[in-house]
Structure 1
Amino acid sequence: MNARFLFKSAFLKLAFPLVILALAALAAPERGSAQVLYGSIVGNVKDSTGATVPDAVVSIVQVETKRARQTTTNEAGGYTFATIPSGTYILKVSKEGFSPFTEKQVPVTINSVTRVDVTLKIGSVSQAVEVTAETALLQTDRSEVRAELTGMELRELPVPVRNYQSMFRMIPGFSVPTNEHSVPSNPSRALRYNVNGTSASSNNVRIDGASSYNIWLPHITAYVPPMEAIETVNVVTNSFDAEQGLAGGSAVNVQIKSGTNDFHGSAFEYHTDNALRARGFFLPTNQVKPKLVYNQFGGSIGGPIKKNKVFFFGDYEGTVDRRLADGRVSVPTLSMRNGDLTASPSRIFDPFTGNPDGSGKTEFTNKVIPSTSIDPIAQKILSFIPLPNLPVSGFVNDYYATGSYLFDRRAGDTKINWNTTSKLNIYGRFSMMHFDLHSPLAFGDMGPILGSGGNPGTGWGNTYSYTIAGNYLLTPHMIVDAHFGWTRMDTNSEQPDLDRNIGRDVLGIPGTNGTRRFEGGWPRFQFPNNSFATFGATEGYMPYYRSDPQYQYVANLGWIKGAHNIRLGMDLYRQHLNHTQPEHYTETQPASGGFRFDRGPTTIPGQTDSDYNAFASFLVGAPANRGRILQVPDIYHTRTWSYSFYARDQWQLNRKLTLTYGTRYEYFPYPTRDTRGVERYDFATNKMLVCGIGSVQEDCGVSVSTTMFAPRFGFAYRATDTFVVRGGYGITNDPFNIARSLRANVPVLLPFIQTGPNSRVPVGHLQDGIPQIVVPDFSSGVASIAGSLGLNTTSTDFVRGYIQSWNVTLQKEFWKNLVGSVGYVATRQVKALGLLEQNYGFPGGGKTSQVLWSAFQRDADTQLVAPIGNSHYDSLQATLERRFSNGLQLNASYTWGKGIGIYNVRESTDSPAIKIPAFYTLNRAVFGFDRTHSFNLAGIYELPFGRLKKGGHNGLSNALTSGWQLNWLFSSYTGLPFGVSASGTGLNAPKNSQRADQVKPNVQKLGGIGDTPFYDPTAFAPVTAARFGTAGFNALRGPGLVNLDFGLFRDFRMTERLHMQFRAEVLNFSNTPHFANPRSDVSGSKFMIVDNVV
């Protein structure tokens, strides 16, 4: 083992964090606005003639904790309080010869600037001027595009499953947040969203400063705090301040509530069940609504431990979900199992006859496979598959299955704030979540997953997160703040029957299963998408056991010098992946082994195919591919650092204009394992290099950029007291952690996949099983690898892309409570990262045409982590906001936008559909998440009846009419893009996807739902020749989406401080189905049919 590497690793693990903590302490000589965790108050002081008032004393006191600060105005009459905790403040200004001025109820939120301009009047101390502030809606001093989810909105608006991320749809530029991934991988049920056309992996969520990044699934967050715990959510979507790094789409800062000098608390219970749910649109008519009992309950409490000094807050939320999970899947009919495929629209051929190119095969007479040709293992597998139980034509969705689903989750947060001295303030937060899951399968212990669990079988785990933060005031104009954040996700998921080697011992298939428990259970038997249900193991990535911690060290130094607010800082980030999971990105077969049955083996060149051909391939035991993933160590690891430094100046050039400018410097070293480097494939020699072993360098000779600067600039021009013009430009380096793409590589993981020589010839017989996997000897750090082992790698010169963002926004206060804005918001992703397949084949060439076949007999996936291209997004974004007054609050937002990029690439681990460079431009298409028009309207309205309302009465009338409130969130979106796919059998170009031919110049939209097509299916045709189809990717759009979530609340005042609230919330009030896109396989049995909801 490399001693130098071990010493370096030990230094990084032990000494480096101590150095960072020391730097955080030394960083004390600065004062500014730690805008991520804190807020600022700025303003100008003038007299009644408009002249500036220098040297005026300005002081603030936080109402909740009585914490005080004081400063003086500069020569231009300006003042700044930066790095102050969020809350409500009393601001006072005094100067000899002028009447004292006091403004109460000044609101401050995290990562924001509140402006309070003051006009002093000549007078004596006894002639004090006192006003009460209102919530500022104009963004007067910062240039970024931002939004804030206030405490009132979080408390009052109807929010699905009480997840604050559902409310992101209110913010311009956001795609509709969607629930993705299994419960074990995403137990918080975090939502996925794209912002302003950027990758979902480029969003950054922090909770009280601690990153909530899901290292393994970076497009979602690791922890979603209970709604009861959240004080406010600040969101920035464009032209980021230099302090905000590692975010190209959105920077989301979630603030957990704090205790105050007053005790406050809450308790809640939310309930829904199947009686309160609408009937599913596609639920079979003879089926009753499945059972559902869903409860969410908990509470919070906060207050003083020592008045004005130490405060506490805590919350708890429990979720109990019990339901009868159900689903419709496709299983073969009895006649199909017996070989009768006469219903097939395509011809059926014997795959074990004919020529090497797939021609000359013997056709099965009358599309009937004789019993002598039916594979005995296939028959054995079919004995575990139930027969259809729904009266449908054909086999699509002919089986309805149910099973008991269980999901329990417990989450809570604690937070302590300590005003240690008048100069030092610190706080700590700890959050924890535990979950348990049981998710049923359609065929008992195997088959497709039912319900929303996402993984078959059982799941369990914990998520932890904590922050320790503090700030120290060195002088009235200089402050330092620092924080340490830690988050860890422990997730586990197992499918049934892991203790039985079913493939080897029950089915008798050689080469399946292994000697370790996670290699047990069913093998996998796959069919083309949208055809038959998977038999056996549902997923190719199970089981898994993950433990992923991350560490964050942040220090900032701020200094107010005249009209300049200067800020410097650093953000150091450490991420670990520790996994037992036999999974590779591109290979689909699990550790127990698997087989894929495609249409090609039972067709001949020039003939169309159908899903019946795929089943025929299974019935005769003719797989198109076979394989198994072998995980060599029991646990494998990756380690990643990122280093960020920044400098920023916010210059109030005059009373009307504020300039913000600065830059970040970021460095992303090449990832490592826990005791050595990662791996790299050498294309010239077909050898795998293990970094740090033998004579191989610790980084395998890979160079990464050391000049990654990211400049930012912005302005805010206050044309009048009610009109602001803002603009900004910035660059964000792509923050994607490439360790995710290099996590499971040879020799850690051996993804063995064998395919036939071309798409019309099987790889062998099902009874032959899977060949034994040979583990290469990497003791020297270099070894040749088999051509059937897939891998990911980088070049020796790794290039990381970047995101440009800019905006020009106009904001106008029309009258006291109403503010509108309109802006042009744009992004450009340059050299966006993805996976580039290097071992592609050419049309008609089959396996032997693959780039690495002739030299190394290599046919497996060989993917390069590299830039895949550029993308762009342009939009018009508008908002209209009425602050809460006279019982009414309104928030409206509209986005017209269009984004174009690389088809099939939603994030940095995706690969373009067409890999051949000569045809690469065919991948250019609108984003799959693109919606041309998005409109949202949220409202809170207290009905004008009862006590404290105009015309209110006492007695019975008051008891019946007071305390009622209406709340709503209305959304309307145009449809999502999709394209028409086709079988790749005729194309015969390995690693590439096929498109259909568009045979009509215009595609008529029919709008059918259910049994009638949504678009004219005759406008498209399969492609049987060795070429790409003419139908463009994402050229069509599916059904739009309209939704109204509605709430009716009633407050019952028990005492002055105690009240009870009854809520009736109706999600999708109009019961308007949210239809999915039509089925898009041109040869599929239900092509262009909408038969599902999202």
Structure 2
Amino acid sequence: MRPYTEVHDRWSFMNPELPNPAVGGYPGAIQFAGDGENSCHCRTPIATYYGNIGPRVGAAYSLNERTVLRGGYGIMYSRRGAVGGRAGARNGTGTLGFSANVTFPSGDGFSPAYNWTNGVPAYAKPPFFDPTLNAGFVTGRPLGGGVTYGDPDIGGRPPRYQNWNAGLQYALTSTVTAGASYAGSRGDFLGGSGRGFYSNQLDPRYLVLGNLLTQQATAASLAAAQAIAPGVRLPYANFSGTIAQMLRPFPQYSGVTDVYGDVARSNYHSLQLTIATRKSNGLTLNANYTFSRTEDNLIARTGYDFDQDWAVGANDQPHVLNAIVLYDLPFGAEGRPGSGNPLVRAIVGGWQVSGISQFRSGRPIGSIGSIVGACNLPSAGTCYADFNPAFSGSVRINGDYGDGDVLGPNPPAYIDRNAFVSAPSFTFGNTPRTLAYDLRNPSSFNQDLSIQRDFRAGGSVKLRIGAEVFNLFNTVVFGGINTN
């Protein structure tokens, strides 16, 4: 699959190995597509990957006239990265250097900045093929800006899913069939949090410096930092910024977006049970139940350790039940009550009732955040709350979700906030990314019902009359729980 290119090569990216002249040759400078000044002499920095092969195989074996075994395996691909339809695949890593944000301030704050009759004042027009764009945190330059990075290897890899299944289907009777299957899936190269180094995150090993991280890098603060973490030093001469900024992988930039850093993974395992009937005595049934578990590391509190946040997925629903029932009302049908009465056949004959029932477990409650600013992680990632070691009892309070005056000025809380405490400064918190205390959002149940009948209107034309009721029992599906 060919990676993203722009028809006139009007895009740019940060090269993490290219010396930056603005900061004494420290690695990390802007390059441009094409063959012009300060370019990569390429249409794209992303290498074409030729291994996107998707084989599929399946087999079925009949043990006897009632029993069939089935299995299959396949590799499939989704869309993302430099070869997909989202996350940088439409506009690459950006167009830094190809646009100008021009302002013309008023001299006194209320008079016009310029007059149309004199024309627009002169300004530098793009493109600017300057490798030092957005570099800063050095004496004589403004604060650094943000840049983007496109990984040349991972960028060419779309999300890959390996899917497999094995199952048994058994005919209980001539009209009833039951089945049991195992189905699994593994996802690789999935989009998630950016990688720590290429997102310009502070390495967690420097959190031991504590409050020094927020201090300006002076001779005194640098000496204090070196006493705790020997080896730390200024990245380049005339650096101007905090200790935390000094220790970032690319200290000349305020931030780096890891556009194609898709390294997240997922696993899915499920038991799937089915029962189906062909129409018998007017009844048709199709029901299935899935017991499953989804795990992934799509979101990481620090991009240096994705596996730390390997957890139950945000969309995990362990119990899913679906049932579809169709029933032809027996009145007026041949051999049924009223079949000999033309009036009964005309009024109540031929009606069909159908219903769809659906139940789904609630999704996991997501991360529990600390009080804003409590954990103080300068450029190091995201922090969650800590479990409260002094807490005991049930974390669920005030009855079922939805109990109480949920629309009032003081709606009830359903999770005891005393079960959590803010993480200490310069720590990430010890609660999991999802499912702390096995907490889940509300489950959902829905029942739809319909009744209909077809009437012949002459020839091959039929007239259908019916009525449908959605959410028959008016079941409320609550949104996710606020975990602030």
TM-score (norm 2): 0.71
Cα deviations across residues 719-767 of structure 1 (Å, max 9, x unaligned)? 2233211112222345434463224413288799xxxxxxxxxxxxxxx
| SS of structure 1 residue aligned to 2:320 | strand
Letter in 1 for 2:396: K
Contact 1:671 1:739 in 2 (8 A): no
Residues 1:986 and 2:374 are matched in the alignment: yes
Match of 1:957?
344
Shift of 1:836: 1.2
Whether the 8 Å CA contact 1:1004–1:1016 is kept in 2: the answer is: yes
Aligned counterparts, 1:373-772, within 5 A: 668-676=1-9, 678-684=11-17, 685=20, 686-694=28-36, 695-736=39-80, 737-738=83-84, 740-742=86-88, 743-744=90-91, 745-747=94-96
Residue 829 of structure 1, CA deviation: 1.3
1:576-612 Cα distance to aligned partner (Å, 9 max, x none) = xxxxxxxxxxxxxxxxxxxxxxxxxxxxxxxxxxxxx
Which residue identity lines up with residue 675 of structure 1 in the other structure? H
What do the CA deviations read for 1:135-157 (whole angstroms, capped 9, x no partner)?
xxxxxxxxxxxxxxxxxxxxxxx
Q: CA deviation at 1:894?
A: 0.6
CA contact (8 A) 2:183 2:270 kept: yes
Shift of 1:848: 4.9
Alpha-carbon deviation of 1:1056?
5.0
Task: Decide whether aligned partners of structure 1 residues 815 and 791 sit closer, same or farther in structure 2, where only a CA change above 3 A counts.
Answer: farther
**One-letter amino acid of the counterpart of residue 915, structure 1:** T
Shift of the 748–802 alpha-carbon distance from structure 1 to 2, 3 Å rule, reads: farther
Superposed CA deviations along residues 442-482 of structure 1, whole A, max 9, x for unmatched, are xxxxxxxxxxxxxxxxxxxxxxxxxxxxxxxxxxxxxxxxx
Structure with bigger strand share is 1
Question: Which aligned pairs between 1:899-978 and structure 2 lie closer than 5 A?
Answer: 899-902=294-297, 905=298, 912-917=299-304, 919-946=305-332, 948=334, 950-951=336-337, 952-978=339-365
- Does the 8 A contact of 2:449 with 2:468 survive in 1? yes
**Code of the aligned partner of 2:186:** R
Aligned partners of 2:420 and 2:370: how far apart in 1? 10
- 3-state secondary structure, aligned to 2:292: strand
Deviation at 1:998, TM superposition (A): 1.7
**How far does residue 875 in structure 1 lie from its aligned partner after superposition?**
0.7
* Counterpart in the other structure of 2:433: 1033
SS of residue matched to 1:953: coil
In the TM superposition, what are the counterparts of 1:294-373 in structure 2 within 5 Å? none
What does residue 1022 of structure 1 align with? 422
* Residues 739 and 988 of structure 1, relative CA distance in 2, 3 Å threshold: farther
Q: Could you say which residue in structure 2 is the equivalent of 1:785?
A: 134
% identity of equivalent residues: 25
Pick closer, same or farther for the CA change 1:701–1:792 going to 2, 3 Å.
Answer: closer
Structure 1, residues 864-888: CA drift from partner, whole Å, max 9, x if none?
4123232211110111111234422
Whole-Å Cα distance in 2 between the matches of residues 740 and 835 of structure 1?
15
> Separation in 1 of the partners of 2:246 and 2:3?
27
| Aligned mates of 1:856, 1:900 — CA distance in 2 | 35
> Which of the numbers 809, 814, 818 marks the counterpart of 2:167?
809
Q: Distance in 1 between matches of 2:100 and 2:279?
A: 58
Q: Is the 8 A contact 2:57 2:72 kept in 1?
A: yes
Does the aligned pair in 1 maintain the 2:363–2:440 contact within 8 Å?
A: yes
Which of 1046, 1055, 1059 aligns to 2:458? It is: 1055
Aligned match of 1:380: none
Shift in Å, 1:672: 1.0
- Which of 194, 197, 200 is matched with 1:839 structurally? 200
Task: Encode CA deviations 1:525-553: one digit per residue, 9 max, x unaligned.
Answer: xxxxxxxxxxxxxxxxxxxxxxxxxxxxx
- 2: distance between equivalents of 1:702 and 1:1050? 60
How far the C-alpha of 1:935 sits from its partner, in A, is 0.6
Distance 1:749 1:1060, change over 3 A: farther
User: 2:96 is matched by which residue type in structure 1?
Assistant: P
2:447 matched to which residue of 1? 1044
Please tell me whether residue 865 in structure 1 is matched to residue 287 in structure 2: no
Q: Determine helix, strand or coil for the equivalent of 2:323.
A: strand
Matches within 5 A, 1:789-800: 789-798=145-154, 800=157
Deviations 1:86-133 (A, max 9, x none): xxxxxxxxxxxxxxxxxxxxxxxxxxxxxxxxxxxxxxxxxxxxxxxx
Work out the CA distance in 2 between the residues paired with 1:776 and 1:848: 36
Contact preservation (8 Å) 1:914, 1:992: yes
Distance (whole Å) between structure 1 residues aligned to residue 165 and residue 480 of structure 2 = 33
Q: Does the Cα contact within 8 Å between 1:1008 and 1:1015 map onto a contact in 2?
A: no
Residues 671 and 678 (structure 1 numbering): CA distance in 2 closer, same or farther, change over 3 Å? Answer: farther
For the 8 Å contact 2:183–2:269, the answer to whether it is kept is yes
Q: Structure 1, residues 618-639: CA drift from partner, whole Å, max 9, x if none? A: xxxxxxxxxxxxxxxxxxxxxx
Residues of 2 paired with 1:786 and 1:987: CA distance? 29
Quick one: distance in 2 between partners of 1:1057 and 1:948?
Answer: 22
Distance (Å, rounded) in 1 between the aligned partners of 2:483 and 2:258? 27
Residues 678 and 699, structure 1, Cα contact 8 Å, conserved in 2: no
Q: 1:852 to 1:1027 in 2, by over 3 A?
A: closer
CA distance in 1, matches of 2:369, 2:100: 27
What are the Cα deviations for residues 373-422 of structure 1, in whole angstroms up to 9, with x where unaligned? xxxxxxxxxxxxxxxxxxxxxxxxxxxxxxxxxxxxxxxxxxxxxxxxxx
> Equivalences for 1:116-127 in 2 at 5 Å?
none
- Aligned partners of 2:33 and 2:44 also within 8 Å: yes
Query: TM-score if structure 1 supplies the norm length?
Result: 0.33
Question: How far apart in 1 are the matches of 2:5 and 2:44?
Answer: 11
Distance of aligned partners of 1:1040 and 1:863 in 2 relative to their CA distance in 1, 3 Å threshold: same
Q: What CA distance in whole angstroms lies between the structure 1 residues aligned with 2:100 and 2:309?
A: 27
Matched to 2:284, the amino acid is Q
Does the 8 A contact of 1:1047 with 1:1063 survive in 2? Answer: yes
Does the Cα contact within 8 Å between 2:187 and 2:265 map onto a contact in 1? yes
Cα contact 1:832–1:869 (8 A) shared by 2: yes
Cα distance in 2 for residues equivalent to 1:678 and 1:949: 76
Change (3 A) 1:677 1:741: farther
**Residues 1004-1019 of structure 1 aligned to structure 2 (within 5 Å):** 1004-1006=395-397, 1007-1009=400-402, 1010=406, 1011-1019=411-419
What is the identity, as a one-letter code, of the residue corresponding to 2:325? G
Distance change (3 Å), C-alpha of 1:853 and 1:707: closer
By how many angstroms is 1:929 displaced? 0.7
Question: What is the deviation of 1:948?
Answer: 4.8
- CA distance in structure 1 between the aligned counterparts of 2:42 and 2:10, rounded to whole angstroms: 5
Whole-angstrom CA distance in 1 between matches of 2:254 and 2:263: 22
How far apart are 1:1050 and its partner, in Å? Answer: 3.4
Helix, strand or coil at the partner of 1:936:
strand
Native 8 Å contact 2:79 2:85 kept in 1: no
Give the 3-state SS of the residue equivalent to 2:189 in structure 1.
strand
- Structure 1 pair 855–782 and aligned structure 2 pair: CA distance change class (3 A): closer
Question: Kindly tell me: are residues 833 and 950 of structure 1, through their superposed partners in 2, closer, same or farther at Cα, counting changes over 3 Å?
Answer: same
Identify unmatched segments of 5+ residues in structure 2: 21-27, 102-122, 137-143, 215-241
Does the C-alpha gap of structure 1 residues 1055 and 822 become closer, same or farther in structure 2, counting only changes over 3 Å? same
* 3-state SS, counterpart of residue 881 of structure 1: strand
- Pair 1:891–1:700, CA change in 2 (3 A): same
Instruction: Pick the aligned partner of 1:882 from 254, 257, 277.
Output: 277
The offset of 1:953, in angstroms, is 3.4
Q: Deviations over 1:1016-1038 (max 9, x none)?
A: 22211233522122221111212
